[in-house]
Amino acid sequence: MAVSPLPGRPNTKAEKRNAQGLFFYGIVFAVSNAAPNNPSGGFLMEAPILNNNKRPYRREEMAKKLGVFVGSDQHLDKVINLCKAARDKGDVDVTIFFSHLGTKLTQDPRFGELEGMATMSLCNVGFESHGLKPPVQGIAEGDFATQARNGELIEDEDRYLVF
């Protein structure tokens, strides 16, 4: 017995991937970066209001906080370029957490370029396991942390990128 799909809803995985907007727990969120009433040029998200309000959608500007997890020692140039782009954009706050092999990037002479472009912290266990010792340019004493800091990053930031 075949089950007939609901009208207007994507039926296959490919259709779901190609659908406009985001489908989250049965609620459709439409995301747009071209909004006429948005002078900041940021992204807007339309979220359905789930009560008996006359307007079915409200428009909210999405916050711009980017969390970056660096667990590799191979992508410092990409991390620097990402932070430069966020700084040039002017309204994106970047927070970086270095862990495991990513802590080795602190020894690269270009690491200092990140200072002032992002809030940075690193996994103290990963740092010490590679025989590294503080001080590190751009990393305050209180920013030698545990993986709990990474968990806070995941929870607090709007977007999370992994290298």
pLDDT at res. 20: 43
Domain-embedded: residue 1: no
Q: Are residues 30 and 107 in the same domain?
A: no
Domain-embedded: residue 141: yes
What's the CATH code of the domain at 146? Answer: 3.40.1260.10
Nearest partner of 159 among 75, 51, 82, 71, judged by Cα: 82
Tell me the pLDDT tens digit for each residue of 109-128.
Answer: 999 999 999 999 999 999 99
Instruction: Give the three-state DSSP class for 163.
Output: coil
Cβ contacts of residue 99 below 8 Å, gap of 6+? 69, 70, 71, 122, 123, 126, 147, 150
Q: Are residues 98 and 57 in the same domain?
A: no
Entry pTM:
0.62
Contact 47, 61 (CB under 8 A): no
Nearest partner of 89 among 69, 65, 59, judged by Cα: 65
Pairing verdict, β 44-48 and 57-61:
antiparallel
Domain-embedded: residue 154: yes
Structural domain boundaries, residue 158? 65-162
Nearest partner of 72 among 48, 40, 94, 105, judged by Cα: 105
Contact 160, 98 (CB under 8 A): no
Burial class (CB in 10 A: 0-12, 13-18, 19+), 134: middle
Q: Are residues 52 and 78 in the same domain?
A: no
Given a cut of 70, the residues of the chain with pLDDT beneath it are: 1-63
Cβ contacts of residue 136 below 8 Å, gap of 6+? 106, 111, 122
Tell me the pLDDT tens digit for each residue of 71-96.
Answer: 999 999 999 999 999 999 888 999 99
Contact 106, 136 (CB under 8 A): yes
Q: What are phi and psi of 75, to 5 degrees?
A: -125, 30
Domain-embedded: residue 82: yes
